[in-house]
Every structure is written in C-alpha cells, then in structure tokens.
C-alpha cells in the first residue's frame, strides 16, 4: 500500500540490501530522489532525476522502433465500456483493475455509458485503426504510443506496480501471420538489446506459459531479469494475437485477390518498471549504480577547495574549462555548491549512482590531472586532464561492460539446473534465484511447483529448443527447458 506522504524525503540511512531488500529498494528510490508516493493512493510522482532516466530509456527505444518504420500516434485515454467488453479473455483479465469515469461537469451529470481509463489500449486502438485499413496495401500498420495507463492495483510498489504508470504500447496490424510473428520477435530482440546494451541487465528471452501469457494473446514472449534478491522481474512483453482481436473488433482488409480477410495483430510494451529493474539489478548498500548509457549524469566533478583564493580560483578555472571541453562528449556536471562539504557530495552522488566521479583539488590542477573514482569499484586513480573526454568515454564504455558482467555473473551464480520436483522444493526452502528445469508444458505441473514452493512460477523458455528428457514434475516427456523463479 502507499506510504503516507509525511514520510517523504525523510530517509536518513539506506537499509542494507542484505537486511531487508524491500526496505532497501524503497529507501534507494526515495533517497536517490527518483520517485515518491503521493496523497493520491497508489499513484506516484516521478522526480526530475527519475524522469531524466526515463527520458534516456525512451529515447533509446524510440530510436530503435523509428529506424524500423514504426510511427508514434496518440489514442484516447478513455474507452467506452462496450468496447472494453468485446474480447472476452481480455476483459476477464483486466476488469478487476479498471477505473471508471461515470460523471462529468459541474452537476456531476451521469454519463450514458461508463468510460474506462485505459489499462492497455488494444480495445480502442483496434477499432480506431480499422478505419485506416482497407486493403493489403495499407498494411502493415506499425503504431506505437508513449502514454500513461491505469490499473487499480491493491498492492503497490514504486515503479514496479502503481495505479498509474508510464509506458510505450506498440500495436501492429499485418496481412499474414508470419509477418506478425516476425514483428513480435523483432520487438523482443529490441527489448533484449534495450535491457542488455542500455540497462546492462542480462535477460532470459523466451515464451511465457499459457498461464502467464497476456489476456487475449495467442502467445506472449518476454524478457526476464534477475534482481539482486534472486527474484525475477518481467521487464517487457511482446504478444502475438493471431486474429483474436481483429475478429472481436472486425479489423479486416481486402487481400490481393480482393477477398476480405482479418488482420493478424501484435502488441508489446515496456514501462517505467524498467527503472525498478535497473535499481534492483545493480544497486548496493550505498544506493544506485546507474548504467552509463541511460544515466542522467555520467560524470560528476567535485571541486576540493582550500582556503587560499589563488588555489581556489585555479580549481574553479580548471573545472570551467572541463565543462566546456566535455560538452557533447559525456553528460557532465560540476557540483558547484559551496555550503556542502566534498565528503557529503561524494555520498550524495553515490546514492544517485553516478558512474564516474572526478575529484579536483589544487595539487591535481598543478599536476595536470584529476582523480577518477568509479561507482562500481570505488578505486581512486589519477588521470591526466589532457585527452580527458576520450578517456571518460572509454571509461564509461568499460563501466557498462563491467556492470553487465557483474550482473551476468550474479545471475549465473544464482541459477541452478535441477531435475526433480523434490530438489526444486528443497532449493527454494533455502535459496532463491532461478531454477532451470525440463517441463512438459502442462499447467498442472506449473501449478504444483507453485503450490509446493509457495509461489515460484515459470518465467519463460527459449523457443524452438530441441529438448530431450522428462518433466521435472510429472516425468512425462519434456517440451521446454523453462526458468522457474519467484517474480515481482
């Protein structure tokens, strides 16, 4: 549940990660000034540092989809009840979480029909796009929108689960099943790249089980990351709908033979949840550790000023020169505050996870160097001012690799291959992390694992893998090598 607003901004110390992961997470989000709960229950405010992070993530993904011909649009926030109700499985999945607009204006006049605030937009985008699709020549339609959606969750967590959140939702319309399925996988690949190459979070890429798929989909693919408490986080999903939605909303086209066919459609989304992912995949007891490619500030410089004015001016002059030199090369900030001691500044920028810090004192300036400290290893290294821009770019690239490698190692160390149910149950009595096991693909076996482990579910499995062996639960022939984990 939402915390009372009075607690805002009062985090004095971050609870150690090993002591209480949930508390640690909330402390970090708030102390790093990423987001807070508001007095509107379950709804957050994203603060400037958190929003800048989101803007960098948005830019990265937006560039990817635009390069492959996807186009941004804006669709209505509100969905008439009758439209939301048309696809039976879909509404079954979302109805419990819908917020309804029922009244308007000064006298709060009742609407003829309640309007849902979109929990996702399949049921409004389909009916709108059908008007723009007459012939196979109008296809494919590759649309996307960046927007807010609302799901009336009862258990909330900043960035991971809130009543309102921000995301992109792609919705595409195709003339063949093959093309639509290719689209699903194209985007899945983008999501993998976004997670790994931008957020430095290694992910499992694969198919969701029938139980775990999106309400209304033929199948759902996902990327799943491992958080530092060993739990899984579903970081993005790409769905294949076949003709399910186009049948419900009559989205058709005239094919080459001039006969009417229904479209094949997809949808896919990533959200501000990705911010939660990078916090929980990389953070430590001192706070955030940000992947450089999306860090709002990549390099922060802290001046160390002595009492004599000439040496102070030398340091300031050096930093002003660096500000000019580094512009456009790295996202650089000098912490000029005069009423805060350098040590406090170090701590603050460590909480905020800035990848690289430069400490610049009078002796450094004299020696033509600065002291470089990286957030990951915290080693202090003198580096020459000459050629600093290039050096910092190389350091940031290396930082990304190191961060990715660290997460990958952590994931490998917390993944077990197990072959029978007893071992799985036993494993989760003492351990967390991922378990990889063979599985027959049946819901009964999933359910049994979930029951006996107190909540471990299937996350996803690689597509088209040749499997030999038997199901970890029932001993029948296995179809998939699936990842089990507790999940957010």
Residues binding a second copy (CB under 8 A)? 5, 8-9, 36, 38-40, 43-48, 51-52, 54-55, 71-80, 83, 95-106, 108, 114-115, 117, 124, 127-128, 131-132, 137, 143, 147-148, 150, 152, 164, 166, 339
Q: Give backbone dihedrals phi and psi of 34, rounded to 5 degrees, phi first.
A: -85, -45
- Within 10 angstroms of residue 369's Cβ, the number of other Cβ atoms is 18
Q: Whole-number minimum distance, CB 429 to a second copy, in Å?
A: 36
Among residues 68, 485, 433, 96, the alpha carbon closest in space to that of 268 is found at 68
Question: How far is residue 32's CA from residue 9's CA, in Å, rounded to a whole number?
Answer: 10
Among residues 72, 69, 81, 175, the alpha carbon closest in space to that of 124 is found at 81
The tokens describing 302, both together, are 């802290």
Give the single-character DSSP code of 461.
Answer: B
- H helices of 156-308, in order, are 177-193, 244-248, 273-282
Residue among 88 and 422 whose Cβ is closer to a second copy: 88
Q: Are 289 and 283 in contact (CB under 8 A)?
A: yes
Residue among 71 and 431 whose Cβ is closer to a second copy: 71
Q: Are 350 and 319 in contact (CB under 8 A)?
A: no
Question: How far is residue 163's CA from residue 98's CA, in Å, rounded to a whole number?
Answer: 10
Residue among 20 and 55 whose Cβ is closer to a second copy: 55
Residue among 166 and 404 whose Cβ is closer to a second copy: 166
Q: Whole-number minimum distance, CB 49 to a second copy, in Å?
A: 8
The tokens describing 196, both together, are 């790994």
Q: Whole-number minimum distance, CB 200 to a second copy, in Å?
A: 24
Strand-pairing partners, residue 419, are none
Residue among 142 and 195 whose Cβ is closer to a second copy: 142
The tokens describing 288, both together, are 């955030």
- Residue listed under structure tokens 């049946």: 442
Question: How far is residue 457's CA from residue 450's CA, in Å, rounded to a whole number?
Answer: 6
Q: Whole-number minimum distance, CB 97 to a second copy, in Å?
A: 7
Among residues 438, 435, 354, the alpha carbon closest in space to that of 392 is found at 354
Q: Whole-number minimum distance, CB 38 to a second copy, in Å?
A: 5
Q: Whole-number minimum distance, CB 257 to a second copy, in Å?
A: 17
End-to-end CA distance of the chain: 15
- Indicate the angle between helix axes 443-453 and 421-430, nearest 10 degrees: 40
Residue among 332 and 439 whose Cβ is closer to a second copy: 332
Q: Whole-number minimum distance, CB 134 to a second copy, in Å?
A: 8
Q: Whole-number minimum distance, CB 103 to a second copy, in Å?
A: 4
Residue among 98 and 358 whose Cβ is closer to a second copy: 98
Among residues 237, 216, 214, the alpha carbon closest in space to that of 225 is found at 237
Q: Whole-number minimum distance, CB 50 to a second copy, in Å?
A: 8
Residue among 339 and 468 whose Cβ is closer to a second copy: 339
Residue among 131 and 429 whose Cβ is closer to a second copy: 131
Question: How far is residue 362's CA from residue 381's CA, in Å, rounded to a whole number?
Answer: 16
For residue 250, the Cα-to-chain-centroid distance in whole angstroms is: 33
Residue among 148 and 178 whose Cβ is closer to a second copy: 148
Q: Whole-number minimum distance, CB 296 to a second copy, in Å?
A: 10
């Amino acid at each position: 549940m939402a915390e009372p607003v009075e607690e805002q901004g009062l985090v004095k110390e971050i609870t150690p990660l090993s002591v209480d992961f949930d508390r640690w997470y909330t402390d970090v989000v708030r102390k790093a000034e990423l987001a807070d709960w508001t007095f509107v229950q379950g709804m957050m405010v994203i603060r400037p540092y958190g929003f800048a992070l989101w803007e960098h993530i948005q830019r990265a993904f937006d560039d990817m989809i635009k390069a492959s011909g996807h186009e941004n649009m804006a669709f209505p926030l509100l969905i008439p009840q009758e439209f939301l109700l048309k696809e039976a499985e879909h509404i079954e999945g979302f109805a419990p979480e819908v917020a309804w607009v029922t009244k308007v204006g000064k006298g709060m006049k009742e609407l003829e029909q309640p309007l849902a605030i979109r929990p996702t937009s399949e049921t409004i985008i389909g009916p709108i796009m059908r008007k723009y699709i007459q012939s196979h020549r109008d296809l494919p339609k590759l649309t996307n929108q960046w927007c807010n959606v609302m799901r009336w969750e009862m258990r909330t967590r900043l960035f991971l689960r809130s009543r309102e959140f921000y995301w992109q939702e792609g919705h595409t319309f195709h003339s063949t099943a093959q093309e639509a399925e290719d689209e699903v996988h194209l985007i899945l690949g983008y999501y993998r790249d976004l997670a790994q190459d931008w957020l430095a979070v290694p992910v499992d890429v694969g198919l969701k089980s029938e139980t775990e798929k999106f309400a209304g989909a033929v199948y759902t693919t996902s990327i799943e990351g491992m958080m530092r408490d060993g739990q899984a986080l579903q970081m993005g999903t790409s769905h294949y709908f076949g003709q399910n939605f186009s049948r419900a909303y009559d989205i058709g086209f005239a094919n080459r033979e001039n006969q009417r066919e229904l479209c094949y459609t997809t949808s896919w989304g990533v959200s501000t949840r990705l911010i939660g992912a990078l916090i929980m995949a990389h953070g430590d007891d001192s706070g955030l550790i940000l992947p450089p490619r999306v860090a709002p500030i990549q390099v922060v410089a802290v001046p160390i000023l002595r009492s004599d004015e000439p040496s102070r001016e030398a340091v300031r002059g050096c930093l002003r020169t660096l500000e000019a030199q580094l512009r456009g090369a790295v996202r650089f900030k000098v912490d000029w505050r005069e009423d805060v001691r350098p040590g406090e500044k170090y701590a603050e920028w460590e909480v905020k996870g800035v990848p690289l810090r430069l400490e610049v004192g009078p002796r450094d300036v004299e020696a033509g160097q600065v002291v470089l400290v990286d957030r990951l290893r915290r080693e202090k290294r003198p580096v020459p001012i000459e050629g600093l821009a290039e050096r910092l770019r190389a350091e940031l690239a290396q930082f990304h690799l190191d961060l990715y490698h660290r997460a990958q190692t952590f994931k490998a160390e917390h993944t077990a291959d197990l072959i029978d149910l007893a071992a799985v149950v036993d494993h989760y009595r003492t351990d967390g992390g991922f378990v990889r096991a063979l599985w027959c693909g049946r819901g009964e076996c999933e359910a049994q694992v979930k029951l006996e482990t107190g909540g471990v579910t299937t996350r996803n499995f690689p597509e088209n893998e040749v499997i030999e062996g038997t199901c970890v639960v029932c001993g029948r022939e296995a179809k998939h090598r699936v990842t089990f984990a507790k999940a957010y």
